[in-house]
Amino acid sequence: MPFRPARLLPVALVGMALLGAGCGGDDQPGYCSDLDDLQQSVGDLSQVDVVEGGKSAVTDALQKVETSARSTVDSAKADFPDETGAISDSVAALETSARALADSPSAAQGARVAGDVAQVVNSVDDFADATSSNCE
């Protein structure tokens, strides 16, 4: 099957937004390192070609996102309830669309998942923005 960069473009673009927005350092809240892990797992997920990789590739990458999202939400929900709620909601929506994928997804299913990945990226970016002064 020929390479079709247009299928990768939406997912790859949303993943690129995560690359420069990490937290780090020793005297920071735990959610800063959790956020780093979440951004990495979402970046990895955004590199998955849904149509080529199929359902298993998406669900494998999603499992890492779910784990890191849970850690991030648990460590920050008291301080950032709106942002962590948005992360939980967007990951849950992505989980639902990923479960609905066929083993060999259609382009339409791939686009739906890419849209949900974009929502996860947006919620993670919003959280990163809200915590940036604590995680610099």
Q: What CATH number is attached to the domain comprising 96?
A: 1.20.120
Would residue 19 count as lying in a domain? no
Dump pLDDT digits (tens) for 20-38: 444 444 689 989 999 999 9
This prediction's pTM: 0.80
Dump pLDDT digits (tens) for 104-134: 888 898 889 989 999 999 999 999 999 999 9
Would residue 120 count as lying in a domain? yes
Residue whose token pair is 């499992």? 63
| Per-residue CA distances from 2 to 5, 7, 54 (Å) | 10, 12, 16
The amino acid present at 63, given as its one-letter code, is Q
Would residue 44 count as lying in a domain? yes
Domain assignment of residue 118, given as a range: 8-13+28-131
How many domains does the chain contain in total?
A: 1
**Do the Cβ atoms of 10 and 116 come closer than 8 Å?**
no
Would residue 63 count as lying in a domain? yes
Would residue 18 count as lying in a domain? no
**Do the Cβ atoms of 113 and 53 come closer than 8 Å?**
no
Would residue 85 count as lying in a domain? yes
**Do the Cβ atoms of 15 and 120 come closer than 8 Å?**
no
